[in-house]
Chains A and B, each alone.
Chain A
Amino acid sequence: MTIHNLYIFSKTGMLLYYAEWNRLNKSGITKEEEAKLMYGMLFSIKSFVNKISPLDPKEGFLYYKTSKYTLHYFETPSSLKFVLNTDNASQNARELLQQLYREVYLEYVVKNPLCQLNEPIQSELFKIKVDELFKKSPLFLSRSL
Protein backbone atom coordinates (compact mmCIF):
# COMPACT_ATOMS: atom_id res chain seq x y z
CA MET A 1 0.00 0.00 0.00
CA THR A 2 1.17 3.48 -0.67
CA ILE A 3 0.11 7.08 -0.72
CA HIS A 4 1.02 9.07 -3.80
CA ASN A 5 -0.08 12.65 -3.35
CA LEU A 6 -2.54 15.03 -1.76
CA TYR A 7 -4.40 18.12 -2.95
CA ILE A 8 -6.52 20.44 -0.84
CA PHE A 9 -8.81 22.86 -2.69
CA SER A 10 -10.74 25.79 -1.28
CA LYS A 11 -14.41 26.33 -2.05
CA THR A 12 -13.43 28.61 -4.92
CA GLY A 13 -11.16 26.00 -6.45
CA MET A 14 -7.89 27.49 -5.33
CA LEU A 15 -5.15 25.00 -4.54
CA LEU A 16 -4.53 25.49 -0.82
CA TYR A 17 -2.03 22.75 -0.37
CA TYR A 18 -0.18 20.13 -2.35
CA ALA A 19 2.12 17.39 -1.09
CA GLU A 20 3.56 14.33 -2.70
CA TRP A 21 5.29 11.26 -1.33
CA ASN A 22 5.64 8.51 -3.88
CA ARG A 23 4.96 9.92 -7.27
CA LEU A 24 6.85 8.33 -10.13
CA ASN A 25 5.16 9.98 -13.05
CA LYS A 26 5.23 13.75 -13.32
CA SER A 27 2.52 15.52 -15.24
CA GLY A 28 5.00 17.68 -17.16
CA ILE A 29 3.00 20.85 -16.59
CA THR A 30 3.32 23.43 -13.85
CA LYS A 31 1.72 22.81 -10.49
CA GLU A 32 -0.77 25.61 -11.13
CA GLU A 33 -1.90 24.15 -14.43
CA GLU A 34 -2.11 20.70 -12.94
CA ALA A 35 -4.24 21.99 -10.06
CA LYS A 36 -6.59 23.70 -12.49
CA LEU A 37 -6.90 20.53 -14.52
CA MET A 38 -7.53 18.47 -11.41
CA TYR A 39 -10.14 20.85 -10.05
CA GLY A 40 -11.91 21.05 -13.39
CA MET A 41 -12.12 17.30 -13.59
CA LEU A 42 -13.41 16.96 -10.04
CA PHE A 43 -15.99 19.62 -10.68
CA SER A 44 -17.18 17.81 -13.79
CA ILE A 45 -17.23 14.40 -12.14
CA LYS A 46 -19.22 15.79 -9.26
CA SER A 47 -21.93 17.28 -11.42
CA PHE A 48 -21.85 14.23 -13.69
CA VAL A 49 -22.37 11.88 -10.74
CA ASN A 50 -25.18 13.97 -9.34
CA LYS A 51 -26.98 14.19 -12.66
CA ILE A 52 -26.56 10.63 -13.83
CA SER A 53 -27.28 8.83 -10.56
CA PRO A 54 -30.55 6.87 -10.84
CA LEU A 55 -31.06 7.20 -7.07
CA ASP A 56 -30.83 10.18 -4.78
CA PRO A 57 -27.06 10.81 -4.68
CA LYS A 58 -26.65 11.26 -0.95
CA GLU A 59 -22.92 11.40 -0.66
CA GLY A 60 -22.11 12.09 -4.28
CA PHE A 61 -18.70 11.32 -5.67
CA LEU A 62 -16.46 9.28 -3.34
CA TYR A 63 -13.59 7.84 -5.37
CA TYR A 64 -12.51 6.49 -8.75
CA LYS A 65 -10.07 3.76 -9.62
CA THR A 66 -7.84 3.10 -12.59
CA SER A 67 -5.65 0.08 -13.21
CA LYS A 68 -2.81 1.76 -11.33
CA TYR A 69 -4.17 4.06 -8.66
CA THR A 70 -7.25 5.20 -6.75
CA LEU A 71 -8.32 8.79 -6.27
CA HIS A 72 -10.19 9.41 -3.04
CA TYR A 73 -12.35 12.48 -2.71
CA PHE A 74 -13.68 14.02 0.47
CA GLU A 75 -15.65 17.26 0.49
CA THR A 76 -16.83 18.98 3.65
CA PRO A 77 -20.19 20.78 3.76
CA SER A 78 -18.15 23.99 3.69
CA SER A 79 -16.88 22.90 0.25
CA LEU A 80 -13.30 22.23 1.23
CA LYS A 81 -12.04 19.48 -1.02
CA PHE A 82 -9.49 16.89 0.00
CA VAL A 83 -8.09 14.69 -2.75
CA LEU A 84 -5.77 11.78 -2.15
CA ASN A 85 -4.17 9.43 -4.64
CA THR A 86 -3.21 6.00 -3.36
CA ASP A 87 -2.56 2.62 -4.91
CA ASN A 88 -5.48 0.26 -5.41
CA ALA A 89 -4.86 -1.81 -2.30
CA SER A 90 -5.46 1.07 0.11
CA GLN A 91 -8.66 0.94 2.12
CA ASN A 92 -10.24 3.54 4.33
CA ALA A 93 -8.43 6.46 2.74
CA ARG A 94 -11.59 8.46 3.32
CA GLU A 95 -11.20 8.07 7.04
CA LEU A 96 -7.67 9.31 6.75
CA LEU A 97 -8.90 12.39 4.91
CA GLN A 98 -11.50 13.06 7.57
CA GLN A 99 -8.80 12.73 10.16
CA LEU A 100 -6.67 15.17 8.21
CA TYR A 101 -9.55 17.65 8.24
CA ARG A 102 -10.33 17.17 11.93
CA GLU A 103 -6.93 16.89 13.46
CA VAL A 104 -4.65 18.86 11.20
CA TYR A 105 -6.56 21.35 9.03
CA LEU A 106 -8.83 22.43 11.85
CA GLU A 107 -6.15 22.62 14.51
CA TYR A 108 -3.36 24.23 12.53
CA VAL A 109 -5.12 26.30 9.89
CA VAL A 110 -8.60 27.23 11.11
CA LYS A 111 -7.44 27.81 14.66
CA ASN A 112 -4.40 29.76 13.54
CA PRO A 113 -5.52 33.35 13.04
CA LEU A 114 -2.42 34.06 10.96
CA CYS A 115 -3.55 31.55 8.34
CA GLN A 116 -5.91 33.14 5.82
CA LEU A 117 -8.61 30.64 4.93
CA ASN A 118 -8.71 31.27 1.22
CA GLU A 119 -5.04 31.38 0.47
CA PRO A 120 -2.42 28.68 -0.05
CA ILE A 121 -1.28 27.34 3.29
CA GLN A 122 2.20 28.53 4.19
CA SER A 123 2.38 27.27 7.76
CA GLU A 124 5.40 25.09 8.42
CA LEU A 125 3.68 23.52 11.39
CA PHE A 126 0.84 22.42 9.15
CA LYS A 127 3.25 20.83 6.69
CA ILE A 128 4.98 18.92 9.47
CA LYS A 129 1.71 17.68 10.92
CA VAL A 130 0.37 16.53 7.56
CA ASP A 131 3.56 14.62 6.95
CA GLU A 132 3.42 13.07 10.40
CA LEU A 133 -0.19 11.99 10.02
CA PHE A 134 0.40 10.35 6.66
CA LYS A 135 3.62 8.65 7.60
CA LYS A 136 2.09 7.01 10.62
CA SER A 137 -0.94 5.84 8.64
CA PRO A 138 -1.02 2.13 7.75
CA LEU A 139 -1.62 3.18 4.14
CA PHE A 140 1.83 4.66 3.96
CA LEU A 141 4.22 1.92 2.96
CA SER A 142 6.52 3.34 0.39
CA ARG A 143 8.55 0.25 -0.37
CA SER A 144 5.75 -1.53 -2.19
CA LEU A 145 6.35 0.57 -5.28
Chain B
Amino acid sequence: MSRTGTKLDAKKVNSELFTLTYGALVAQLIKDYENVEDVNKQLERMGYNIGIRLIEDFLARTGSGRCYDFRDTAEKIQSGFKIFLGITPSITNWSPAGDEFSLCFETNPLTEFVELPDNCSNLKYCNILTGVLRGACEMVQMEIACWFVQDQLKNDSVTELRVKFVKRLEDAIPAGED
Protein backbone atom coordinates (compact mmCIF):
# COMPACT_ATOMS: atom_id res chain seq x y z
CA MET B 1 0.00 0.00 0.00
CA SER B 2 1.74 3.14 -1.13
CA ARG B 3 0.72 6.39 0.42
CA THR B 4 3.46 8.65 -0.75
CA GLY B 5 1.02 11.09 -2.32
CA THR B 6 -0.93 11.81 0.85
CA LYS B 7 1.54 13.99 2.75
CA LEU B 8 -0.71 16.83 3.70
CA ASP B 9 -2.02 18.16 0.43
CA ALA B 10 -5.57 16.94 0.45
CA LYS B 11 -6.25 14.55 -2.34
CA LYS B 12 -8.76 16.25 -4.55
CA VAL B 13 -11.49 14.05 -5.88
CA ASN B 14 -14.41 14.97 -8.04
CA SER B 15 -17.35 15.75 -5.78
CA GLU B 16 -19.67 13.83 -8.08
CA LEU B 17 -17.99 10.60 -7.11
CA PHE B 18 -18.65 11.43 -3.48
CA THR B 19 -22.23 12.49 -4.19
CA LEU B 20 -23.00 9.26 -5.96
CA THR B 21 -21.29 7.08 -3.35
CA TYR B 22 -23.33 8.74 -0.64
CA GLY B 23 -26.44 8.28 -2.73
CA ALA B 24 -25.68 4.59 -3.04
CA LEU B 25 -25.23 4.35 0.72
CA VAL B 26 -28.57 6.00 1.45
CA ALA B 27 -30.34 3.87 -1.17
CA GLN B 28 -28.87 0.74 0.36
CA LEU B 29 -29.93 1.76 3.86
CA ILE B 30 -33.47 2.40 2.67
CA LYS B 31 -33.50 -1.05 1.14
CA ASP B 32 -32.08 -2.64 4.31
CA TYR B 33 -34.26 -0.92 6.87
CA GLU B 34 -37.47 -0.16 5.01
CA ASN B 35 -38.35 2.23 7.80
CA VAL B 36 -37.26 5.82 7.14
CA GLU B 37 -36.78 6.64 10.84
CA ASP B 38 -34.28 3.81 11.16
CA VAL B 39 -32.39 5.10 8.15
CA ASN B 40 -32.14 8.55 9.74
CA LYS B 41 -30.83 6.99 12.92
CA GLN B 42 -28.35 4.82 11.10
CA LEU B 43 -27.02 7.76 9.08
CA GLU B 44 -26.50 9.72 12.27
CA ARG B 45 -24.60 6.82 13.82
CA MET B 46 -22.37 6.41 10.82
CA GLY B 47 -21.72 10.13 10.82
CA TYR B 48 -20.75 9.98 14.48
CA ASN B 49 -18.17 7.31 13.76
CA ILE B 50 -16.79 9.39 10.91
CA GLY B 51 -16.74 12.53 13.07
CA ILE B 52 -14.64 11.09 15.86
CA ARG B 53 -11.90 10.36 13.33
CA LEU B 54 -12.40 13.34 11.08
CA ILE B 55 -11.73 15.73 13.95
CA GLU B 56 -8.13 14.50 14.14
CA ASP B 57 -7.67 15.22 10.47
CA PHE B 58 -9.13 18.68 10.95
CA LEU B 59 -6.92 19.45 13.95
CA ALA B 60 -3.77 18.20 12.27
CA ARG B 61 -4.51 20.12 9.10
CA THR B 62 -5.46 23.43 10.66
CA GLY B 63 -3.33 23.24 13.80
CA SER B 64 -6.15 25.00 15.62
CA GLY B 65 -6.31 25.05 19.38
CA ARG B 66 -9.18 24.96 21.83
CA CYS B 67 -12.18 27.17 21.22
CA TYR B 68 -12.70 30.06 23.62
CA ASP B 69 -16.40 30.45 22.98
CA PHE B 70 -19.15 28.96 20.88
CA ARG B 71 -18.79 31.61 18.16
CA ASP B 72 -15.24 30.47 17.72
CA THR B 73 -16.57 26.93 17.40
CA ALA B 74 -19.07 28.03 14.77
CA GLU B 75 -16.32 29.54 12.65
CA LYS B 76 -14.20 26.42 12.96
CA ILE B 77 -17.11 24.24 11.92
CA GLN B 78 -17.58 26.53 8.94
CA SER B 79 -13.94 26.16 7.97
CA GLY B 80 -14.31 22.41 8.40
CA PHE B 81 -17.05 22.40 5.78
CA LYS B 82 -14.75 24.37 3.51
CA ILE B 83 -11.96 21.84 3.94
CA PHE B 84 -13.94 18.64 3.62
CA LEU B 85 -16.85 19.55 1.36
CA GLY B 86 -15.57 22.65 -0.43
CA ILE B 87 -18.55 24.74 0.62
CA THR B 88 -18.89 27.65 3.03
CA PRO B 89 -22.24 27.59 4.85
CA SER B 90 -23.27 30.90 6.36
CA ILE B 91 -23.63 31.21 10.12
CA THR B 92 -26.94 32.82 11.07
CA ASN B 93 -29.77 32.97 13.60
CA TRP B 94 -27.76 33.14 16.81
CA SER B 95 -29.89 32.58 19.86
CA PRO B 96 -29.74 35.48 22.36
CA ALA B 97 -27.81 33.31 24.82
CA GLY B 98 -25.24 32.56 22.15
CA ASP B 99 -25.53 28.82 22.60
CA GLU B 100 -27.37 28.02 19.39
CA PHE B 101 -26.80 28.91 15.75
CA SER B 102 -27.74 27.80 12.26
CA LEU B 103 -25.63 26.80 9.32
CA CYS B 104 -27.30 27.66 6.03
CA PHE B 105 -26.31 25.84 2.89
CA GLU B 106 -27.11 27.36 -0.47
CA THR B 107 -25.47 24.48 -2.23
CA ASN B 108 -24.78 21.09 -0.84
CA PRO B 109 -22.66 18.52 -2.66
CA LEU B 110 -24.47 15.69 -0.87
CA THR B 111 -27.82 16.52 -2.42
CA GLU B 112 -26.80 17.12 -5.99
CA PHE B 113 -28.81 15.01 -8.46
CA VAL B 114 -31.20 14.08 -5.65
CA GLU B 115 -34.98 14.18 -5.53
CA LEU B 116 -36.90 12.58 -2.73
CA PRO B 117 -39.66 10.18 -3.74
CA ASP B 118 -43.02 10.63 -2.00
CA ASN B 119 -42.67 7.67 0.31
CA CYS B 120 -39.49 9.17 1.79
CA SER B 121 -40.86 12.50 2.97
CA ASN B 122 -39.54 11.88 6.48
CA LEU B 123 -36.08 10.99 5.31
CA LYS B 124 -33.37 13.37 6.47
CA TYR B 125 -31.18 12.77 3.50
CA CYS B 126 -28.12 14.60 4.86
CA ASN B 127 -28.49 13.30 8.39
CA ILE B 128 -24.95 11.97 8.29
CA LEU B 129 -23.78 15.57 8.78
CA THR B 130 -25.49 15.85 12.17
CA GLY B 131 -23.62 12.77 13.30
CA VAL B 132 -20.30 14.04 12.00
CA LEU B 133 -20.69 17.31 13.92
CA ARG B 134 -21.75 15.57 17.11
CA GLY B 135 -18.86 13.10 16.96
CA ALA B 136 -16.26 15.71 16.13
CA CYS B 137 -17.37 18.08 18.89
CA GLU B 138 -17.53 15.29 21.42
CA MET B 139 -13.85 14.60 20.87
CA VAL B 140 -13.01 18.17 21.80
CA GLN B 141 -14.99 18.00 25.06
CA MET B 142 -18.17 19.55 23.79
CA GLU B 143 -21.57 18.00 23.75
CA ILE B 144 -23.80 19.47 21.08
CA ALA B 145 -27.18 18.66 19.60
CA CYS B 146 -27.78 19.24 15.96
CA TRP B 147 -30.73 18.82 13.59
CA PHE B 148 -32.16 19.98 10.27
CA VAL B 149 -34.85 22.65 10.32
CA GLN B 150 -35.02 23.36 6.59
CA ASP B 151 -34.12 21.20 3.65
CA GLN B 152 -33.86 22.12 0.00
CA LEU B 153 -34.99 18.61 -0.85
CA LYS B 154 -38.29 19.44 0.85
CA ASN B 155 -38.74 22.63 -1.17
CA ASP B 156 -37.27 25.05 1.36
CA SER B 157 -35.14 27.77 -0.15
CA VAL B 158 -32.03 26.81 1.83
CA THR B 159 -30.88 23.87 3.86
CA GLU B 160 -30.58 24.93 7.49
CA LEU B 161 -28.74 22.94 10.12
CA ARG B 162 -29.31 24.01 13.71
CA VAL B 163 -26.50 23.47 16.22
CA LYS B 164 -27.04 23.72 19.95
CA PHE B 165 -24.41 23.69 22.67
CA VAL B 166 -25.39 21.29 25.43
CA LYS B 167 -22.48 21.11 27.85
CA ARG B 168 -18.76 20.87 28.28
CA LEU B 169 -17.44 17.42 28.93
CA GLU B 170 -14.84 17.23 31.68
CA ASP B 171 -11.36 15.87 31.30
CA ALA B 172 -11.04 12.35 32.56
CA ILE B 173 -9.12 12.02 35.79
CA PRO B 174 -6.59 9.20 36.05
CA ALA B 175 -7.78 5.93 37.51
CA GLY B 176 -7.07 5.64 41.22
CA GLU B 177 -4.17 3.61 42.51
CA ASP B 178 -6.24 1.52 44.89
Indicate if B37 sits at the interface (CB-CB under 8 A): no
Indicate if B123 sits at the interface (CB-CB under 8 A): no
Consensus secondary structure, chain B interface: loop
- For residues 138 through 152 of chain B, which have their beta carbon under 8 Å from a beta carbon of chain A? 139-141
Are A102 and B172 CB-contacts (below 8 A) given A78-B139, A110-B53, A117-B52? Answer: no
Are A77 and B8 CB-contacts (below 8 A) given A13-B172, A43-B173, A43-B174? Answer: no
| Nearest opposing residue in chain A for B8, CB measure | A102
Distance of A135 from chain B, by nearest CB (Å): 18
Indicate if A12 sits at the interface (CB-CB under 8 A): yes
Size range of the chain B interface in the assembly: 20 to 34
Chain A positions 87 through 117: 1 when the CB is less than 8 Å from some CB of chain B, otherwise 0:
0000000000010011101110011000001
A residues contacting the other copy or chain, number (CB 8 A): 23
Chain B positions 49 through 71: 1 when the CB is less than 8 Å from some CB of chain A, otherwise 0:
00011011101110111100000
Interface residues of A (CB under 8 A from B): 11-13, 36, 39-40, 43, 59, 76-80, 98, 101-103, 105-107, 110-111, 117
**25 A-B residue pairs with CB within 8 Å:** A11-B139, A11-B171, A13-B172, A13-B175, A36-B175, A36-B177, A40-B174, A43-B173, A76-B56, A76-B59, A77-B59, A77-B65, A77-B66, A78-B56, A79-B141, A79-B171, A80-B56, A102-B60, A102-B61, A103-B7, A105-B56, A106-B60, A107-B6, A110-B53, A117-B52
